[in-house]
């Protein structure tokens, strides 16, 4: 067990585009940032294959490779990047206290939270086996690769409807799998109407996903009608899961304001939380856009906000 307390100027919790960008800007501002990568170093992009919508990569790039570039750039600027998971915090007094892996205690003048969000999955073995090979939790990220193809999407909320409509503009047919009937759909009435009015979206009511099929890539999905018990196999090239995301924010709940879903609330137009000196960036506070480029932008904001806070507090 390590009992010594380490004092740092700027602590960044979590990696991915938000955390690494915050580290780049914080290092350039001579804030000597220490970044702990968290449970998934590099964030959700490490389980993404081709990234074609991030500026500066005209030929596209693999998600894990792009995160290696982010990390190396942050290191070149002087950021101290470490393995480790934040397991407990105490923001009740200054400096802010954060425990890493339950034993190392860090005191930080400023804290930037970039712990991201995790996609909710159905829990199928095939869903995880084919993740990145036709299975995706982000239609906006990956729909482009299935232009002119038949695809399936599972979900019944506004996000699922939005992504189904987005896919309908790229794909031949979009099969939308909804567990309940029309009266049980969680999406707003206007989004439901838009989906129903889109001619190439086929809604499968009262249906559950039994299995995503394919050896090396998705080639079909088997669904079961919960009313009749009949199973149907639908040929598709991709299977999109849109049943929501869970922000990785549990350890902060005692101290930070959050919405009903657990996303950290920030002052509009900033990365500031309700606790002075604590900032949030990326998907842990963004449930709307959830893109690598917007996460990177908010990481930049967080570093600039932190630098201004430290300067005003006489801690710079």
Q: Any catalytic annotation for residue 259?
A: no
pLDDT score recorded for residue 1: 42
Q: Give the span between the Cα atoms of 142 and 192, in whole angstroms.
A: 23
Residue 35, classified by CB atoms within 10 Å of its CB into exposed (0-12), middle (13-18) or buried (19+), is: buried
Is 138 part of the annotated catalytic residue set? yes
Q: CATH 3.50.50.60 region(s) of the chain?
A: 5-118+245-312, 121-241
Architecture of the structural domain at 121-241 = 3-Layer(bba) Sandwich (3.50)
Fold classification of 5-118+245-312 is FAD/NAD(P)-binding domain (3.50.50)
Task: Note whether 217 and 146 are within 8 A (CB).
Answer: no
Instruction: Write down the catalytic residue from 80, 138, 208, 300.
Output: 138
133 neighbors 163 (Cβ within 8 angstroms): no
pLDDT (mean) for 40-45: 69
List pLDDT tens digits, range 210-257. 999 999 999 999 999 999 999 999 999 999 999 988 999 999 999 999
The number of helix segments (H) and strand segments (E) in the chain equals 7, 19
Q: What is the pLDDT of residue 182?
A: 82
Which residue in 90, 102, 109, 141 is the catalytic one?
141
Tell me the C-alpha distance between 183 and 240, whole Å.
23
Percent of the chain topping pLDDT 70: 97
The mean pLDDT value for 28-33 works out to 97
- For 108-167, the pLDDT digits (tens) are 999 999 999 988 899 999 999 999 899 999 898 899 999 999 999 999 988 899 899 999
For helices 63-76 and 16-28, the axis angle rounded to 10 degrees is 20
Q: Which candidate in 10, 109, 142, 161 is catalytic?
A: 142
Mean pLDDT, to the nearest integer, of 49-60?
86
> Mean pLDDT over residues 9-29, rounded?
97
Q: What percent of the chain has pLDDT over 90?
A: 81
Is 161 in the active site?
A: no
CA distance 240 to 134: 8
């Amino acid at each position: 067990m390590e009992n010594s307390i380490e004092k740092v100027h700027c602590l960044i919790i979590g990696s991915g585009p938000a955390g690494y960008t915050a580290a780049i800007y914080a290092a350039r501002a001579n804030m000597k940032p220490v970044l702990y990568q968290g449970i998934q170093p590099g964030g959700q992009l490490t389980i993404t294959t081709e990234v074609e919508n991030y500026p500066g990569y005209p030929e596209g790039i693999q998600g894990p490779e792009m995160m290696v570039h982010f990390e190396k750039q942050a290191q070149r600027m002087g950021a101290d990047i470490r393995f480790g998971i934040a397991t407990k915090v105490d923001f009740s007094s200054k400096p802010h206290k954060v425990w890493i892996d339950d034993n190392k205690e860090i005191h930080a003048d400023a804290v930037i939270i970039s712990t991201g969000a995790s996609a909710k999955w159905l829990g199928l073995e095939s869903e995880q086996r084919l993740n990145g090979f036709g299975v995706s939790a982000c239609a906006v990220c990956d729909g482009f690769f299935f232009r002119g193809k038949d695809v399936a999407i599972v979900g019944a909320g506004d996000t699922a409807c939005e992504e189904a409509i987005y896919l309908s503009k790229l794909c031949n047919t979009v099969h939308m799998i909804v567990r309940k009937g029309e009266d049980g759909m969680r999406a707003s009435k206007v989004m439901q109407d838009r989906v129903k009015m889109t001619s190439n979206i086929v809604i499968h009511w009262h249906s559950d996903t039994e299995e995503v099929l394919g050896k090396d890539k998705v080639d079909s999905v088997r669904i079961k009608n919960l009313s009749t018990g009949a199973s149907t196999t639908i040929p598709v090239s991709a299977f999109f899961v849109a049943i929501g995301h869970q922000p990785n924010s549990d350890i902060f709940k005692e101290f930070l304001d959050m919405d009903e879903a657990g996303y950290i609330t920030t002052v509009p137009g900033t990365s500031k939380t309700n606790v002075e000196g604590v900032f949030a960036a990326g998907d842990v506070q963004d449930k709307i856009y959830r893109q690598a480029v917007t996460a990177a932008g908010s990481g930049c904001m967080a570093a600039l906000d932190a630098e201004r806070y430290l300067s005003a507090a006489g801690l710079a």
